[in-house]
Amino acid sequence: MHSHIQQLFDIAAKPSRKIIGLMSGTSLDGLDVALCELSGDGLDTNISVLQFMTVDYDADYKQRVKAVFAKREVDLQSVTLLNPWIGLEHGKMINQCLAKWQLTAADVDVIASHGQTIFHCPKRKHNLAEYGNATLQIGDGDHLAVTTGITTISDFRQKHIAAGGEGAPLAVYGDYLLFSSRDENRIMLNIGGIANFTWLPQTLDANAVFSSDIGPGNTMMDAFIQRHYPAQYFDADAKLARAGKVSEPLLGALMQDEFFTLNFPKTTGPEVFNLAYLANAQQQSGTQSLSHADIMATLNCFSAQMIIAAIKQTTAQLDNFVIYASGGGIHNPVLMSQIQHALPEVAIKTTADLGINPDAKEAVLFAVLANECLVGGKQQFSNAREGIPGVTMGKISFAD
């Protein structure tokens, strides 16, 4: 037996495993690093988040990634060079975290790396008959493993697509395994660059679970701030949105994309919802002269209305469910107040109420996927389920 296979066997045989989950989302604000201890698998998974921090990306990192991010036409050499470079940079960031936590590589069993999405391309968007769904995450797992000295599991989304999914949202797997409860129906709402949610019925019936992207969360608001206020990266405390007034004509134009007419599950990304989309909506609605504050107020309302519509559609026949929110959007008070105002009878909590830091949740979920790759296999989902194939995901990179 090769020593690498023996290494995996030994990790899987442990009563618990220490896994670092990584998430770098479409907001491009930083790398979420969550050190988790996991035992069990499937619905018997137990998890403790031992450490968590977000390593902020500097301006140079953001500029390099933005040059190829969510664009159909980019410099191929840049993509080729960035793939290993991001793996190296993420590895250095993990090493910084380990030093801060007074840990060594030997204290960690596995890294679970999401990588950096640079383009998401479902078939219904590209409409090319000879091609299927596709998505691309860069940040090579081999470079990450060698840089840290830790076995790395990465590139989770490709198996999802190969098995018939769209490569997203993958949160449904971890949400189901960690957060299902016989005590209540739950909606796990994540508001990152793109907003998505998972429906978890209290029956724990995997065939009734589903997850879907909703539409823009923070991505358009962040992009607008970054273009017009270079010293800022997002609308802190929704200060600009508070100062503006919602433009109903612009809001109506923003809501016209065909994505919103599709049934769940569905996926999207900044390839669709971006500043060009905003400019087109302004042209259609004749709102090019709006103030920055009014545009931000409208974008904020746009994200809120799409989230509200998705939740109402999902729960039309129910009056007993709880929303558990996570992601950067939970720190936007205007966005969250609109959701609560539209759903006055619904309890809106965060995953902190379930023992998971809401800023760490996505990184934690990739640690769960890595744990399933190592010790799982008793898949709850059927391959017949649209959008949720019952597969084990992740590619393994060894450190030597």
Convert the pLDDT of each residue in 278-287 to its tens digit: 999 999 999 9
Mean pLDDT for the stretch of residues 53-58: 96
Mean pLDDT for the stretch of residues 182-187: 96
Q: Which of 300, 308, 301, 353 is nearest to 326 (CA)?
A: 353
For the chain, what percent of residues have pLDDT higher than 90? 89
Q: What is the pLDDT of residue 230?
A: 87
pLDDT-derived band at 316 (thresholds 50, 70, 90) equals confident
More confident residue, 265 or 185: 185
CB neighbours of 116 closer than 8 A, spacing ≥ 6?
A: 24, 65, 86, 137, 138, 139
Cα–Cα distance measured from residue 318 to residue 316, given in angstroms and rounded to the nearest whole number: 6
Mean pLDDT for the stretch of residues 3-8: 94
What's the whole-number average pLDDT of the chain?
A: 95
State the Cα angle at 360 between 390 and 146, rounded to 5°: 75
Helix orientation angle between 361-375 and 171-179, rounded to the nearest 10 degrees: 90
List the structure tokens of 66. Answer: 């933005």
| Strands laid side by side in the 185-191 sheet | 210-216, 194-200, 185-191, 321-326, 347-350
What are 345-371's pLDDT values in tens digits?
Answer: 999 999 999 999 999 999 999 999 999
Largest Cα separation within the chain, whole Å, is 69
**Contact, 192 vs 362, CB < 8 A?**
yes
**Contact, 269 vs 26, CB < 8 A?**
yes
Residue 87 has pLDDT above 60, yes or no: yes
What are 233-283's pLDDT values in tens digits?
Answer: 899 999 999 999 999 999 999 999 999 999 998 999 999 999 999 999 999
Which of 145-159, 180-194, 312-326 shows the lowest mean pLDDT across its residues?
A: 312-326
Tokens 């769960």 appear where? 368
Residue 385 has pLDDT above 80, yes or no: no
State the Cα angle at 31 between 93 and 353, rounded to 5°: 125
pLDDT-derived band at 168 (thresholds 50, 70, 90) equals confident
Cα–Cα distance measured from residue 157 to residue 77, given in angstroms and rounded to the nearest whole number: 23
Residue 231 has pLDDT above 70, yes or no: yes
pLDDT-derived band at 379 (thresholds 50, 70, 90) equals low
pLDDT-derived band at 29 (thresholds 50, 70, 90) equals confident
pLDDT-derived band at 26 (thresholds 50, 70, 90) equals confident
Q: What is the pLDDT of residue 387?
A: 75
Residue 384 has pLDDT above 60, yes or no: no
Residue 1 has pLDDT above 60, yes or no: yes
**Contact, 328 vs 191, CB < 8 A?**
yes
Q: What is the pLDDT of residue 135?
A: 96
- Total-model pTM: 0.93
Mean pLDDT for the stretch of residues 86-95: 98
For the chain, what percent of residues have pLDDT higher than 70? 98
List the structure tokens of 341. Answer: 């105002």
Q: What is the pLDDT of residue 207?
A: 86
Half-sphere exposure of 321 (CA within 13 A, CB side): 24
What are 97-123's pLDDT values in tens digits?
Answer: 999 999 999 999 999 999 999 999 999
Q: What is the pLDDT of residue 377?
A: 76
Q: What is the pLDDT of residue 7?
A: 95
Task: Kindly report the backbone phi and psi dihedral angles of residue 149, in degrees, each rounded to the nearest multiple of 5, phi listed first.
Answer: 80, 20
